[in-house]
Amino acid sequence: MDHLTWNDKYFVGLKVLDDQHLELFANLNRLHQAVTSGLDPSVTWPLISTLMEATRRHFVREEEILAELGYPGLESHHTQHLELIRRAQSYCTRYRCRESPLSPHLLNFLRDWFAHHLQTSDHAYATWCKEHAQGQEVRVP
């Protein structure tokens, strides 16, 4: 069973960002599957690296698009992204230092953060885009 299940309510209506959100869900679920199957850290660490790289790439792209659209909430959105990276990085460093398997705390933290951020902050820009970004490629489910 997926750790984080995609639901249509997560769509923000901008295809490139929806695709990246789906990729983050898939990466997190792959990592969760590996951890719960008891796979060795030599398997799980590359998966967490992939997830963190995809997360960073997504944040950069999302912020670029929001800047292009002139989204007024960009600065606080950027701060939230930075905070997630900082906290996830701190989890990773702690567990890597102990050379222990990845903690379920990190998986739960990422699941809860993604789900909450998508439904609140990402949906706030989605709503703004629908109202202000006429002419842009905006797809609403």
- List residues binding Fe ion (CB under 5 A): 62, 122
Q: How far is the CB of 21 from Fe ion (least distance, A)?
A: 6
Decide whether 83 or 96 has the Cβ nearer to Fe ion.
83
What single DSSP character describes residue 6?
-
Displacement of CA 59 from its chain's centroid (Å): 8
- CB closer to Fe ion out of 102 and 122: 122
SS (H, E, C) 87-139: HHHHHHHHHHHHCCCCCHHHHHHHHHHHHHHHHHHHHHHHHHHHHHCCCCCCC
Upper half-sphere CA count for residue 141 (Cβ side, 13 Å): 10
Rank residues 51 and 62 by Cβ distance to Fe ion and give the closer one.
62
Smallest CA-to-CA distance from 25 within 5, 11, 46 is with 5
Pick the closer one to Fe ion by CB: 73 or 104: 73
